[in-house]
Amino acid sequence: MKNKTVALILSILLGTIGVDRFYLGYYGMGVIKLLTMGGCGIIYIIDVIRIAMDKLPDKQGNALEK
Give the pLDDT confidence score for residue 4 in this predicted structure.
98
Give the pLDDT confidence score for residue 40 in this predicted structure.
93
CA 52 distance to own-chain centroid: 10
Region of residue 8 (phi > 0: left; psi between -120 and 50: alpha; otherwise: beta): alpha
Give the pLDDT confidence score for residue 27 in this predicted structure.
98
How many of the other CB atoms lie within 10 Å of CB of 34? 15
Could you tell me the sign of the dihedral formed by the alpha carbons of 15, 26, 3, 45, in that order? positive
Partners of 65 in beta bridges: 3
Which sequence spans correspond to the domains of the chain? Answer: 4-52
Mean pLDDT of the region 7-11: 98
Spatial distance between the Cα atoms of 53 and 41, rounded to a whole number of angstroms: 18
Tens of pLDDT along 16-63? 999 999 999 999 999 999 999 999 999 999 999 999 999 999 999 999
Give the pLDDT confidence score for residue 15 in this predicted structure.
96
Give the pLDDT confidence score for residue 54 in this predicted structure.
96
